[in-house]
Chain A
Amino acid sequence: GARRGKDLGLGYRSSEEMIFRYCSGPCRKSQTNYDKILYNLANNRKLPPKDTPSQACCRPTAFDDDLSFLDDNLVYHTVRKHSARKCGCV
């Protein structure tokens, strides 16, 4: 949805708005044998508890175009890789 500059928490003072797209959802469908083995080993406590590798998760695989805006002090800023264009289980 549309978000104002200060909602992003990056410190910019601006009333410009943007569309922020993000990725979310389960990643069970794209599991590989690697993920199965990892899950079983972790569940059977065969892996050291502090060293559990992470499972596949839903992340952006491509980002939206750069976004430029003017802040309240009339300085231009450009943010890159700020919003998801494509998602995937990686």
Chain B
Amino acid sequence: LDGVTGLYFSQNEYIETVYVGQPAGTPVLQVHAMRDGDTERPHFYLCSMNSRRRPAHVSWFRLDISTGVLSLNKTLEESDFASFYPSSQSVKKLSMHVMALPGFTKNSLCNSRSCPRINLEFVNATMPQCGQTDLKELCFPHKDTSNPHITENRFPGALRQLRRLSRFNVCPNYTISYNVETETPAPFAVNETTAELVVTAMLDREESESYRLLLVCTVRTETVITKVETSLDIFVDDEDDNAPYLNGTDTADIVISFNRTVGGSFGTLSVFDRDLTPIIGRSHNKYVGTLLNTDPWAKETFDIKSTFRERKAQGGIRETVHDYYLVLKRNLNVMENRTLQLDYLVNDTTYPGLEGTVLLHFNITILPVHIQFSNITHIFPLTRRASSYAQAGLLSYLRKLLCVENCQQFDGFRVTYRLEVPDKNASADAQSCHAAVRIAQAPDEMWALLYVNDSEALRRPECQDLQYLVVVKEEHTQLETSTQIQIILDNEAGQESQPLLSCAENRRRGDCESARGLGTTTGRCQWRQGYDKGISENYSTCSPDLRTCPDGFCDAVESKDASICPQDCTKKPVIGGHERGLRNGIQAGHGTCYCYTEKCFCEKEDIKETICDDMCKTIIATAL
């Protein structure tokens, strides 16, 4: 691959220790730059990251321009150590940066590529003599944590000096040599003359992302041979050397029907790439997609969006998956009925080869939505056992869900329900009978609820036959459909009207089941007995209809009056142990939850059980 990237350092930090009394000319460490080709020769320079004055200690060191060996320019004196402020610490940190260039320069500012930092610890003591030095210290620096990174597809070469140059002459009678061991064959070796770790071949990240080496240091004295080992992880950095590929299909068949909302997403096509996609920097593996259709309608209506993720392919090597999906740019009309194909070209722009593109196809079928009822007529039986609610006259005695076919799946358009009287020329008396039933629809719902609004009308003998027309209109197209509903009243005598209270006020089963509360479907409140300990979703409570209250959802009828189902609808703080619902209401409560208008309480009534203790048992025993 011909991508020119130039010299780079395989590690971003070098560490070593220097001591007072080390003479001028002593080597400290060696830096290495990885090359792109055989002819490239790196030139090493000490550099500054910014144009401020160099710290004085930089001039104590000299970096060999061709070998990268850092050595002392002067003998380190105690006065050098004392020149630092504050002078209390026993170790000073000396830091400088190094850069590598293919040619000569007089510029001492670090070039734009990352320049490793050399961190030296300056100890206010003379270097320990051979006898005081641990063999481990002779072989490896004790806290070198920087792991080398090697870019794939590059020229092999030396990447690290294993020898501790500054300790090399501490024990002149020892022979120190290094070698490298790996569990599986790996292209790494040690140059025996220079003691440099060398990568012997080009690496491929798609083959192995990292190598674990065991570095073995052998120390020979006149009498003993000692081996010291340390492990080293070498990571392989990625570059864009793989074209995108498909794993199976390049075509997504998409049917759009009930969900036609702007932002809705459909179908997913995945494009794979064996290269990684960095999140920071985005230096490589940049993908650009183009919609090939010129049809203006398609361009205004559809968009292709993408996300990418990483997965582990076979062999545990990471790769990138780009997911492409269709997104609606606007709400689709319910009448819209067409098929079309969108072609989308995906281009890996940083892939240097020729075949860095993949073509995707989205076959789209848009079906019209028919807004209709499945039944032509709905018949609802209703008893007259109703009493009116003095203030609001609201009582969801009858409570029926009305939904045009598939209404629960609608999105991206709106239908509204309204109730009409079939005979518009009916007498005033007949008209007033129809006030008995109303329809309610929440703004974000596609269905409506039928409820009894005026139970007084139900009890009048002349209100026998209640017929209504439910008309459903689609907002955008104004299309209408309708169904007939008939309410059949039984002949049970109505009771005296009296103000109705909220079922939720009842704290005990007996009171609850004998109460005729607001919103009841059977005429009586219903009791739910919870048995769980602690705070439970199944708390004890009194409700007009246990099928709808409490169900954790404040529906269109319940929200008409806060007294119908405060357990689902209360917006006020709840007293006692509880968990709030996502929007309003009580999600879970402790013991029994009851409410006065909107103020709810959850509490456990302690039932004192007679305890049979040891004493009691003793008495029984003696009585026998």
Contact = CB atoms under 8 A, between A and B. Distances in A.
A74 B591 CA distance: 21
A77 interface: yes
A12 B591 CA distance: 11
A12 B573 contact: no
Interface string B573-586: 10011010000000
A75 interface: yes
Nearest to A10: B577
Contacts of B576: 10-11
A11 B590 contact: yes
Interface residues of A, number: 8
A80 interface: yes
B591 to A, nearest CB: 7
Given A75-B579, A77-B579, A80-B573, A12 B534 contact: yes
Interface residues of B, number: 11
B180 interface: no
A9 B573 contact: no
A15 to B, nearest CB: 14
Nearest to A9: B604
Contacts of B579: 75, 77
A9 B535 CA distance: 11
Contacts of A9: 604
A10 B573 contact: no
A11 B534 contact: yes
A13 B573 contact: no
Tell which of A10, A13, A75, A77 has the most Cβ of chain B within 10 Å. A10
Interface in B554-604: 573, 576-577, 579, 589-591, 602, 604
Nearest to B576: A10
Contacts of A11: 534-535, 576-577, 589-591, 602, 604
B599 to A, nearest CB: 13
A59 to B, nearest CB: 16
A12 B576 CA distance: 10
Contacts of B535: 11-12
A11 to B, nearest CB: 3
A81 B579 CA distance: 16
B374 to A, nearest CB: 42
Nearest to A71: B535
Contacts, number: 21
Interface string A1-31: 0000000011111000000000000000000
A13 B534 CA distance: 7
Tell which of A9, A11, A12, A80 has the most Cβ of chain B within 10 Å. A11
Nearest to B575: A81
A80 B575 CA distance: 9
Contacts of A77: 579
Interface string B527-550: 000000011000000000000000
A10 B589 CA distance: 9
Interface in A23-64: none
Contacts of B604: 9, 11
B157 to A, nearest CB: 54
Interface in B18-36: none
A11 B535 CA distance: 5
Contacts of B589: 11
A56 to B, nearest CB: 24
A48 to B, nearest CB: 25
A72 to B, nearest CB: 9
Interface string B481-524: 00000000000000000000000000000000000000000000
A9 B590 CA distance: 9
B512 to A, nearest CB: 21
A75 B537 CA distance: 14
B521 to A, nearest CB: 30
Contacts of A80: 573
Contacts of B577: 10-12
Contacts of A75: 579
A12 B578 CA distance: 8
A9 to B, nearest CB: 7
B519 to A, nearest CB: 27
Contacts of B590: 10-12
Interface string B359-403: 000000000000000000000000000000000000000000000
A66 to B, nearest CB: 11
B538 to A, nearest CB: 13
A77 B589 CA distance: 12
A10 B536 CA distance: 12
A43 B602 CA distance: 37
Contacts of A10: 576-577, 590
Nearest to A76: B579
Contacts of A12: 534-535, 577, 590
A13 B588 CA distance: 14
21 contacts: A9-B604, A10-B576, A10-B577, A10-B590, A11-B534, A11-B535, A11-B576, A11-B577, A11-B589, A11-B590, A11-B591, A11-B602, A11-B604, A12-B534, A12-B535, A12-B577, A12-B590, A13-B534, A75-B579, A77-B579, A80-B573
Given A11-B576, A11-B591, 11 more contacts: A9-B604, A10-B576, A10-B590, A11-B534, A11-B577, A11-B589, A11-B590, A11-B602, A12-B577, A13-B534, A75-B579
- List the 3 shortest-distance A-B pairs measured between CB atoms, nearest first: A11-B590, A10-B577, A11-B577
